[in-house]
Amino acid sequence: MSDMRVKDLAGTVGITAERLVEQLNEAGINVSKPDDQITEEQKQTLLKFLQQRHGKDADSSSSSPKKITLKRKSVSEIKLGGATRGGKSVSVEVRKKRTYVKRSETEDAAAAAELLKQKAAEEQAAEVARQEELRLQEEDKRKQLLDEEARRKQEAEEEAATIAAAIEAEKQAAEEAERAAEEEKKAIEAESKNKKTAAKAKKKDDELTPSQLAHKKLEEADAKRRAANRARIDAEKALEAKKKAREEEEALEKEREKAKAAAAEAQAKEQKAGVRKTKDAEAKHNKDKTARRGGRKDDDFERKELHVSEGKSGRRKKKKGGGAASRVAMKDQEHGFSKPTAPVVHEVSVPETIGVSDLAQRMSVKAGEVIKALMGLGTMATINQVLDQDTAVIVVEEMGHVAKPIQENEVEQALKVSDEELGELKMRAPVVTVMGHVDHGKTSLLDYIRTTKVTSGEAGGITQHIGAYKVQTSRGEIAFLDTPGHAAFTEMRSRGAKVTDIVILVVAADDGVMPQTIEAIQHAKAAESIVIVAVNKMDKPEANPDRVKQELANHEVIPEDWGGDVQFVPVSALTGEGVEDLLDAISLQAEVMELTAPEQGPAHGTVIEARLDKGRGTVVTVLVQQGTLNKGDIVVVGQEYGRVRAMFNEKGEQLDTAGPSTPVELLGLSGTPAAGDELQAAPDDKTAREIANFRQTKAREQKMAQQQAAKLDEMFNKMEEGDVKTLNVVIKGDVHGSVEAVSQGLQKLSTAQVKVRVVGSGVGGINETDAQLAAASQAILIGFNVRADNAARKIIAEKGLDVQYFSIIYDLLDVVTKAMTGMLEPVFRDEIIGLARVDDVFSSPKFGDIAGCLVIEGVVKRSNPIRVLRDNVVIYEGELESLRRFKDDVNEVNSGTECGIGVKNYKDVKPGDQIEVFERVEVKPTL
C-alpha cells in the first residue's frame, strides 16, 4: 500500500481524523493536520504502539493462562402485594458466567479498530437523534404557526362582523333620521293649513301640537344616531386595543421561542458533549480492560435464574438498595439487538456488466462508499455508471467481500441441443460463395447456372445485396451465395465467406487481379474456405489466363498445374464455356470435404440479409446450417424473436420445412435483425422472449459502458479538430447490409477538413421520425432503394429538408463527396497582372507625390490592389489613388507605356522601386 493522507486512513479505519492525529503524535509521529501524508513505516509504527498500549509485548514469553472463567452472583429482593403484613418477599438471584480468552496481536488490533468503529457509530447515532429532535421541534413550531394563523383568521372574522354590525346600526339610525325629517315636514304643512281654525279648537294644556311631535321624533333619531356613532367608535377602539395586545403577545411569544430554542441547542450540545465524554471514557475503560485480560472472546453464555422464597415470618425482606437492584435485574432480562462485533463478509455475484448502485446493493453498502472506492482506484464514476466485470471484482475485493464472477448467458442454455436430439449426420449440399471484383461477371456466371436474368434487375448492373439461391444441377444440389463486388460492401463479402464451404473467386481474364479480388482472397483465407478460381470472360480476344495465374500467385494462390492446390477453371458467363467444368470442380471438392450435417432436431442457421417490407413486415434471408426449420417454429435471431409464419425459397414458392444448406426467406420476427446474427430454434415463446430481452439489455449496457469510456477521448478529439466542419446524414435502406455498407462508405469519405457523421440509420422507408431527426440535427436524408411516406413528405416540405434518393452506391458516394466539397471555405490565389518601374518621383500640390513609371510587364489597372517592391522585397501593400497618362485620368495602362501613379496613403516611393499590380482569383476547393 502506498503513502496516503491521515484523513483517508481514518476513513478506512472508521475513526475521526482528529483522533488519529492524536494517536500518531502519541506514537512519536509528527503530524499536525489530517491532510498530512504518512508512509507505510509510520503505519507499522502506529500499529506497534497501539498493540503495546493494549498490553501486547512481542518479547514476552510468560506462561499466562490462555483462558479464564469468571462467575458472578447477585441477590436482591422485591416486594409483592403491597406493604401489608401478609405480603410476600421475592428474592431475585442473578448468576453470570463469562469466559475470557487471550487474543493474538492481530485480534487485539482488530478489537481496537472495532472499538473505534463502535465509537464512531455511536456518535453518528447521537447525531441522528439530535437531528430527529430538531426536526420534531421544527414540526412543533410549524404546528404552532398554523394554530396562530387560524386564531388570527378567526379574530379577523370577528372584527369584520363587529364592524359590519356597527355600520348597519349607523345606517339604520340615518334612515330613522330621514323618516323623522319627513314627518316633521308633513307636520309643518299640516299646521299651516289649520292656522285659521286653530283659534277655534280648544286643546288641553297637556296635549302637543304636530310640530312639537315632529321635533320630538327628530331629537330621538338624533340621539339614536349619536349612540350608534359612539358604539362604532367604541368598537374601533376595542379592536385597536385588541390588535395592540395581540402584537405584544406575539412579540413575547417570539422571545419565548428564541429562548426555548437557545436552551434546547445548549442542552443538545451539553448532551452531545456528555455522551461523547461518556463514550470516550467507556471506550478507554474497555481498551484497558481488554489489554489487562488479553482480549475478550464473545460470551460463551449468560445464565440467569429467578429464585422465589419467603421469609420466616411470611414478610418480604426489605433490603437496602433492593429496588434498584431488582430494576437492574429485570432490565438484564430484556432482549435487544446487538451490533455485530466483526464486519460482515458477503459473497457477491458479479456479472459481465453491473451498475454502481446494483453493486452497492449486493454488498449491502451505500453507493457513495462504492464511488469512494472507485475514486481510490483512480476511476471517476457516478451512481448510474455501468462497470465491467474486472473493475467490479477489484472493487468488491477492495471493500473486503468475496467476488464471484458469473457468466450471464445461463438463460441461453435452454437453446443448447444435445447430440441425441440432433440425430445422425447426413450428407448435405455444399454452400458456395461467388466473390470477386465488381463487373468481373460474378452474377452473370450465376445467372447462366440458374438460367435466369438477375443482373438485368440490379441497379447499374452491379449487385447491391447478398443473393442466396439453391440450384439443382446434374451433380446434385448446390447452395450459391452471390456477394457484391463494390468496395463499399466489404462486410457483406466477409459474412459470405464465413458461412461458406467453397469460395468461387471470379477474375476477368482481360482485367486481372483488382483490389476487391485481393480483398476476397483475404476473406476466404480468414474463413479457412476452399478457393476455386473461375477465370471469366474467356470469349474475349484480349483474354490472358496466364496473366491471372501470375498475379494470383503473387498473393499465395498457386494453380494446380504450377504445383499448388487451387483449381483454375476458364469459363465464359456469356457463352457458357467451361461452366460444366466448374460445376464438376465444385462437386469433386464437396465429395473430398465430405460435408455432413444433422437433419433432425432444432434448426440453427445464419442471417444472410434482412429487410423491412411494407406489406409483409420483416423479411429475413436465412441459410439453415443444421437441423430442420419448420413452419410455425419459435426462433431467436440475435436480439429479435418470433414465430415462423411463412417460408419462401428463391423462386417465391412457399415451404413447410427447410433442411441444412437451404437458404429461405422468413416472415414473423419481432424486428429486423442484423446481418450475420445466428438463428436458433427455441422450445417455447416465453423462453425466446426472455433470451431476446436479455440480449437487448446486455447490448444496451455494453453500449453505455463504451460511451462512458469514450467520452474523454471524444472531448480531446474535438479539441484537436478545432473548426472541422461536419456533414450530418440520416440513412434509410431496403436491407440491413446496404445500410451498413452505405454508412461505412460515407464515414470513409471523412477528411481533415470535413467529417461525415451518421446520426441515424435503419431499414425501411423514410418515416416521420426520420424526418424529425434530420430536422433537429440539420442532416441530409438519404434513401437507398426506399422512399419517404406521406407524413415524412409533409415534414420535409414544411422544414425544407434535403432528401436524396439513390439506387447505385457509387452515385451516392459521388453526390456526398460534392456536398462535402461545397462545405469547404473558398480559397483565393493572388495572380500578378502587371509590373511598373518607378523612374522618378514628382511633387504635385493637388495630388501629392506622383511616381513617374514605365509599365514593363502586363497591364496596370487602377481598380486592382498593388504592392510596392524595393529590392524585390514587399514594403507596402495597398491600392492606387490615381493613374494618369499625361494630363488625363485613365483606368489602365498597357506594357511599354509611361504613366503617373499615385499610391494611396503612402509617401515613401523612391526611384528604382517597382509597383506590382495583382488580382485575387478564387480557386475551387477540393477534398
Number of H helices, E strands in the chain: 21, 37
Closest CA to 806 of 780, 779, 786, 778: 786
pLDDT band at 278 (very low <50, low <70, confident <90, very high): low
> Is 719 known to sit in a ligand binding site?
no
CB of 856 within 8 A of CB of 837?
Answer: yes
Q: Are residues 883 and 750 in the same domain?
A: no
- What number of CA atoms fall less than 13 Å from residue 416's CA on the CB side? 6
Question: β-strand 848-861 against 898-903: which pairing, if any?
Answer: antiparallel
Q: What is the pLDDT of residues 499-558, one digit of tens each?
A: 778 888 888 888 888 877 887 788 778 777 788 898 888 888 888 888 888 888 888 888
Query: Can you tell me the distance from the alpha carbon of 503 to that of 532, in angstroms, rounded to the nearest whole number?
Result: 6
Query: Can you tell me the distance from the alpha carbon of 586 to that of 503, in angstroms, rounded to the nearest whole number?
Result: 10
Query: Can you tell me the distance from the alpha carbon of 47 to that of 35, in angstroms, rounded to the nearest whole number?
Result: 20
Residue carrying C-alpha cell 470535413? 754
Question: β-strand 476-482 against 425-427: which pairing, if any?
Answer: unpaired
The 3-state DSSP class for residue 57 equals coil
pTM above 0.85, yes or no: no
**Between 521 and 415, the higher pLDDT residue:** 521
Q: What is the pLDDT of residues 735-784, one digit of tens each?
A: 777 788 788 778 777 777 788 888 888 888 888 888 888 888 888 888 88
Q: Is residue 90 situated within a structural domain? A: no
Q: Are residues 481 and 554 in the same domain?
A: yes
- Angle, to 10 degrees, between the axis of helix 105-193 and the axis of helix 40-53? 90
What torsion do the CA atoms of 190, 192, 193, 195 make, to the nearest 10 degrees? 120
- Predicted local confidence at residue 464, as pLDDT: 44
Q: For every residue of 341-363, which 3-state class applies, written as one string?
A: CCCCCCEEEECCEEEHHHHHHHC
Task: Summarize the confidence of residues 171-192 as an average pLDDT.
Answer: 73
pLDDT band at 277 (very low <50, low <70, confident <90, very high): low
Phi, psi of 727 (to 5 degrees): -105, 110
Structural domain count of the chain:
5
CA angle 529, 531, 532 (to 5 degrees): 150
Could you tell me which residues are beta bridge partners of residue 894?
Answer: 859
- Hey, CA dihedral for 715, 716, 722, 728, is it positive or negative? negative
Provide the edge-to-edge strand list for the sheet that holds 530-536: 467-473, 476-482, 431-436, 502-508, 530-536, 567-570
Q: Are residues 846 and 765 in the same domain?
A: no
> Is 483 known to sit in a ligand binding site?
yes
pLDDT band at 143 (very low <50, low <70, confident <90, very high): confident
The one-letter code for the residue type at 592 is: V
Integer angstrom CA distances of residue 276 from 20, 266, 271, 273, 809: 16, 15, 8, 5, 79
Integer angstrom CA distances of residue 286 from 27, 109, 350, 693: 20, 14, 40, 56
Closest CA to 640 of 611, 616, 617, 671: 671
> Is 484 known to sit in a ligand binding site?
yes
Query: Dmax of the chain from CA atoms?
Result: 172
Q: Is residue 299 situated within a structural domain? A: no
Query: Can you tell me the distance from the alpha carbon of 659 to that of 598, in angstroms, rounded to the nearest whole number?
Result: 9
Q: For every residue of 851-875, which 3-state class applies, written as one string?
A: EEEEEEEEEEECCCEEEEEECCEEE
State yes or no: pLDDT of 474 exceeds 80: no
Closest CA to 181 of 143, 203, 211: 211
Go through 123-161 and write b for each residue having 16 or more CB atoms within 10 A of its CB, e for each that does not.
beebeeebeeeeeebeeeeeeeeeeeeeeeeeeeeebee
- Hey, CA dihedral for 768, 773, 774, 778, is it positive or negative? positive
Measure CA of the first residue to CA of the last residue in the chain; give whole Å: 55
Q: Are residues 800 and 813 in the same domain?
A: yes
> Is 704 known to sit in a ligand binding site?
no
> Is 662 known to sit in a ligand binding site?
no
Q: Is residue 627 situated within a structural domain? A: no
Q: Is residue 813 situated within a structural domain? A: yes
**Between 333 and 601, the higher pLDDT residue:** 601
> Is 441 known to sit in a ligand binding site?
yes
Q: Are residues 749 and 871 in the same domain?
A: no
Q: Is residue 804 situated within a structural domain? A: yes
> Is 447 known to sit in a ligand binding site?
no
CB of 450 within 8 A of CB of 473?
Answer: no
> Is 537 known to sit in a ligand binding site?
yes
> Is 501 known to sit in a ligand binding site?
no
> Is 482 known to sit in a ligand binding site?
yes
State yes or no: pLDDT of 492 exceeds 50: no
Query: Can you tell me the distance from the alpha carbon of 870 to that of 876, in angstroms, rounded to the nearest whole number?
Result: 9
> Is 307 known to sit in a ligand binding site?
no
Residue carrying C-alpha cell 416486594? 79
Query: Can you tell me the distance from the alpha carbon of 160 to that of 474, in angstroms, rounded to the nearest whole number?
Result: 111
Q: Are residues 767 and 861 in the same domain?
A: no
Q: What is the pLDDT of residues 656-681, one digit of tens each?
A: 888 888 888 889 888 888 877 888 88
> Is 242 known to sit in a ligand binding site?
no
Q: How many residues does the chain have?
A: 927
Query: Can you tell me the distance from the alpha carbon of 441 to that of 458, in angstroms, rounded to the nearest whole number?
Result: 13
The one-letter code for the residue type at 296 is: R
Cα–chain-centroid distance for residue 766?
27
Query: Can you tell me the distance from the alpha carbon of 511 to that of 173, in angstroms, rounded to the nearest whole number?
Result: 124
Which of 761, 787, 822 is a domain's end point?
822
> Is 536 known to sit in a ligand binding site?
yes
Q: What is the pLDDT of residues 21-71, one digit of tens each?
A: 888 888 888 888 888 888 888 888 888 888 877 655 444 444 445 566 777
- Predicted local confidence at residue 825, as pLDDT: 67
Most confident of the ranges 79-83, 214-218, 219-223, 488-492: 219-223
State yes or no: pLDDT of 853 exceeds 90: yes
Q: Is residue 309 situated within a structural domain? A: no
Query: Can you tell me the distance from the alpha carbon of 829 to that of 924, in angstroms, rounded to the nearest whole number?
Result: 10
Residues contacting residue 671 through CB under 8 Å, at least 6 positions apart: 618, 639, 640
- Predicted local confidence at residue 823, as pLDDT: 64
DSSP 217-261: HHHHHHHHHHHHHHHHHHHHHHHHHHHHHHHHHHHHHHHHHHHHH
Query: Can you tell me the distance from the alpha carbon of 866 to that of 880, in angstroms, rounded to the nearest whole number?
Result: 7
Which of 562, 594, 626 is a domain's end point?
594
Q: Are residues 811 and 846 in the same domain?
A: no
Query: Can you tell me the distance from the alpha carbon of 740 to that of 476, in angstroms, rounded to the nearest whole number?
Result: 35
Q: Are residues 832 and 818 in the same domain?
A: no
The CATH number given to whatever domain includes residue 894 is: 2.40.30.10
Question: β-strand 662-669 against 640-648: which pairing, if any?
Answer: antiparallel
Q: Are residues 177 and 281 in the same domain?
A: yes
The radius of gyration computed from the CA coordinates of the chain, to the nearest angstrom, equals: 52
Cα–chain-centroid distance for residue 426?
50
Q: Is residue 393 situated within a structural domain? A: yes
Q: Are residues 803 and 918 in the same domain?
A: no
Query: Can you tell me the distance from the alpha carbon of 248 to that of 738, in angstroms, rounded to the nearest whole number?
Result: 85
DSSP 312-339: TTSPPPP-TTHHHHHHHHHHHT------
Q: What is the pLDDT of residues 416-471, one digit of tens each?
A: 766 666 667 888 888 888 888 877 778 788 878 877 434 444 444 444 445 677 87
Nine cell digits for residue 179: 323618516
CB of 470 within 8 A of CB of 649?
Answer: yes
Nine cell digits for residue 459: 441497379
The CATH number given to whatever domain includes residue 435 is: 3.40.50.300
The 3-state DSSP class for residue 570 equals strand
DSSP code for 562: G
CA angle 696, 623, 483 (to 5 degrees): 100
The CATH number given to whatever domain includes residue 375 is: 1.10.10
- Predicted local confidence at residue 215, as pLDDT: 62
Q: Is residue 654 situated within a structural domain? A: no
> Is 684 known to sit in a ligand binding site?
no
Q: For every residue of 632-651, which 3-state class applies, written as one string?
A: CCEEEECCEEEEEEEEECCC
Q: What is the pLDDT of residues 244-276, one digit of tens each?
A: 777 777 777 777 777 777 777 776 666 666 555
DSSP 267-312: HHHHHHHHHHHHHHHHHHHHHHHHHHHT--PPPS-----------T
Query: Can you tell me the distance from the alpha carbon of 753 to that of 361, in angstroms, rounded to the nearest whole number?
Result: 49
Q: By mean pLDDT, which of 501-505, 717-721, 894-898 is the weakest?
A: 717-721
Q: How many CB atoms lie within 10 A of CB 379?
A: 14
Which of 573, 594, 615 is a domain's end point?
594
Q: Are residues 394 and 450 in the same domain?
A: no
Residues contacting residue 399 through CB under 8 Å, at least 6 positions apart: 363, 365, 369, 370, 373
Phi, psi of 388 (to 5 degrees): -80, 170
Average pLDDT, the chain: 76
The CATH number given to whatever domain includes residue 814 is: 3.40.50.10050
CB of 528 within 8 A of CB of 510?
Answer: no
Q: What is the pLDDT of residues 776-832, one digit of tens each?
A: 888 888 888 888 888 888 888 888 888 888 877 777 878 887 777 766 667 778 889
Query: Can you tell me the distance from the alpha carbon of 438 to that of 455, in angstroms, rounded to the nearest whole number?
Result: 12
Q: Are residues 263 and 231 in the same domain?
A: yes
Q: Where in the sequence is the domain holding 791, given as residue range(s)?
A: 723-822
Task: Summarize the confidence of residues 5-16 as an average pLDDT.
Answer: 82
> Is 538 known to sit in a ligand binding site?
yes
Using CB atoms within 10 Å of the CB of residue 53, give its burial: 0 to 12 exposed, 13 to 18 middle, 19+ buried. middle
Query: Can you tell me the distance from the alpha carbon of 83 to that of 78, in angstroms, rounded to the nearest whole number?
Result: 11
CB of 532 within 8 A of CB of 586?
Answer: yes
